[in-house]
């Protein structure tokens, strides 16, 4: 949390830039509903202000851009049976995700440190996703029995090959250059150059990003792409597991071990979500995700997953048997 007298979102006009600072550093800038509402209000102000040529989004504290949504709070609401509170959070968050995508001005996210879940949502739909070598991006929702949301059911199927399915099912974490390789980020700017880039952006020219960016040669993601595509493009979860077993490599064994730790229901939901999202537009994907939150947050795995990873941090969830995914999607 910020100091008691500091707002959790600080919005300002700096020259031709509208700036938004997520200011909850002790919580790694995790998004709660007041933050989401404040970001949405700032976005609307900057959208309608003709003097604002671009928007800059950043996170305070030096450790994280945004570690995600406040899932601890969502768990509390789920345990209390407060469906309206859960709905308000996700509906508000997804509305901001869509507004970023529809903004007719550059949206420049400066990602230095952790960027996961909801942090991906407030950056990936914008025009410029700048990462440093210290950035760490992931969609780790299957570990807490949620699913990749914030519009990533639209984004992930459109990444190269089967990279999106791999990221969605395993929650694989990408460093800055790897995130550019995978398509989640657009530019790599060294941390030492970030202050100079930040100082240039109020001039109103998003082209400054490219002037400070470094080229990203093929790296770890490219090296694993053939195996990622063979295995995670296999068409079903049993086929993915079989393909990984057939690879016989240390990498493949690690992926299988990761899948074995995830909620069985969440894996099925996530696979079906990306399959459907591949043929839908962003608005349709966000609507599908919002509908899905209503059933997924009621499933016992959600409260248990958040308990194991976020609350007790014992990383020993006791998952329920896989649920009927068709029913969770409404048939």
Per-residue model confidence as pLDDT tens digits over 112-122: 999 999 999 99
What is the overall mean pLDDT for the chain? 96
pTM: 0.96
User: What contacts 186, CB < 8 A, 6 or more positions away?
Assistant: 127, 128, 129, 130, 180, 209
pLDDT in tens, 223-237: 999 999 999 999 999
Q: Which residues contact 284 (CB under 8 A, 6 or more apart)?
A: none
Q: Which residues are catalytic?
A: 69, 118, 141, 149
Whether 331 shows a pLDDT value over 80: the answer reads no
101 within 8 A of 151, measured Cβ to Cβ:
yes
In tens, the pLDDT along 25-54 reads: 999 999 999 999 999 999 999 999 999 999
Distant-in-sequence contacts of 46-50, Cβ < 8 A, 24+ apart: 46/11, 46/13, 46/18, 46/105, 47/99, 47/103, 47/104, 47/105, 49/13, 49/18
Q: Which domains are present in the chain?
A: 9-328 (3.90.226.10)
Coil, strand or helix at 322: coil
What pLDDT is recorded for position 76? Answer: 96
pLDDT tens-digit series, residues 238-290: 999 999 999 999 999 999 999 999 999 999 999 999 999 999 999 999 999 99
- Bridging pattern class, strands 107-111 and 54-59: parallel
- Give the pLDDT score at 326: 84
Q: Is the pLDDT of residue 4 over 80?
A: no
């Amino acid at each position: 949390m910020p100091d008691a007298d500091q707002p959790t979102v600080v919005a300002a006009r700096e020259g031709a830039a509208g700036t938004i600072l997520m200011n909850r550093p002790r919580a790694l800038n995790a998004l709660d509903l007041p933050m989401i509402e404040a970001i949405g209000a700032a976005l609307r102000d900057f959208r309608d202000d003709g003097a604002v040529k671009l928007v800059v989004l950043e996170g305070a504290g030096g450790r994280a851009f945004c570690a995600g949504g406040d899932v601890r709070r969502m768990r509390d609401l789920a345990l209390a049976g407060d469906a309206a509170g859960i709905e308000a959070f996700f509906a508000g968050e997804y509305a901001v995700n869509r507004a970023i995508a529809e903004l007719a001005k550059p949206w420049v996210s400066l990602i230095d440190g952790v960027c996961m879940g909801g942090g991906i949502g407030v950056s990936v739909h914008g025009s410029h996703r700048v990462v440093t070598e210290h950035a760490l991006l992931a969609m780790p929702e299957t570990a807490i029995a949620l699913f990749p949301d914030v519009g990533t059911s639209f984004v992930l199927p459109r990444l190269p090959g089967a990279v999106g399915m791999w990221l969605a099912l395993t929650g694989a974490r990408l460093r800055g250059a790897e995130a550019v390789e995978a398509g989640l980020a657009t530019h790599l700017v060294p941390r030492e150059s970030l202050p100079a880039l930040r100082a240039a952006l109020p001039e109103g020219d998003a082209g400054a990003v490219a002037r400070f960016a470094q080229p990203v040669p093929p790296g770890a993601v490219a090296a694993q792409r053939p195996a990622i595509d063979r295995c995670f493009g296999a068409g079903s979860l049993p086929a993915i597991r079989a393909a990984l077993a057939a690879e016989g490599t240390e990498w493949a064994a690690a992926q299988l071990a990761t899948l074995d730790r995830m909620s069985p229901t969440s894996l099925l939901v996530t696979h079906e979500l990306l399959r459907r999202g591949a043929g839908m537009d962003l608005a349709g994907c966000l609507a599908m995700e919002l509908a899905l939150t209503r059933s997924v947050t009621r499933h016992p795995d959600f409260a248990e997953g958040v308990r194991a990873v976020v609350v007790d941090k014992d990383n020993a969830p006791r998952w329920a048997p896989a649920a009927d995914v068709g029913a969770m999607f409404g048939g």
